[in-house]
Structure 1
């Protein structure tokens, strides 16, 4: 695993064009610009892509130098449509710290507007 101040290696994120820009201390941020490849047949961003953007931030927040966070549950609400060219930022934060797991809240924003909100649970294991 990379040092806490650098982003973990995530081949799936790289494949989707998602960059992890902050990582550590139960917090992470991922960024991406939506392309035509991320759209559904209606011309808006595919829900699975938004789920992935949120999940990438969540996974980065759940992992650090001392803990390996294994995500066991994610639920997402899609709040607003997203289109090609939109720049998205997903921010994951620990909301509740339990003895062996953390509960996270992830917000995917386009500027100041929240376009999706997710909650997730990750088991915390020593590396």
Structure 2
């Protein structure tokens, strides 16, 4: 985890979904997050590949950590994922979220999910909305 982000302020301790799946935070900086997850046998679907819901969850978690780096509580407004390649049991996946734009109470974030080898497995785009605090002021 980056020195820029205080581990006690990431919210990971209050995130049982990520902890139970073994999702690990590698780095969090302002507007960015990188998380890692190993695909287990329990995550396979009937086709013998990783269930898309787990890939979505990993990407969504990276999105959540990235959009909450600004302070006020921020939640997903909507999200879309494109599955490009299947993941298999044993694959080490890395999800990297990057803030594209913040305006008022909203934001747009892109997340790329890759195998440890760098091969892209999925692309995710999430739209966020601040639900508490004061919206960020943008220069005109």
TM-score, normalised to structure 2's length? 0.83
8 Å contact kept, 1:5–1:24:
no
Output the aligned Cα RMSD: 1.6
What is the correspondence of 1:63-102 to structure 2 with a 5 Å cutoff? 63-64=68-69, 66-102=71-107
Number of aligned residues: 125
Higher-Rg structure is 2
Structure that is richer in strand per residue: 1
Shift of 1:65: 6.1
Gaps of 5+ in 2: 135-140
Extract structure 1 runs of 4+ deviating beyond 3 A.
none
TM-score, normalised by the number of residues in structure 1: 0.91
SS at match of 2:5: coil
Pick which of 42-51 and 15-24 moved more: 15-24
1:114 Cα deviation after fit:
0.8
Partner of 1:115: 121
Matches of 1:46 and 1:79 in 2, distance apart?
13
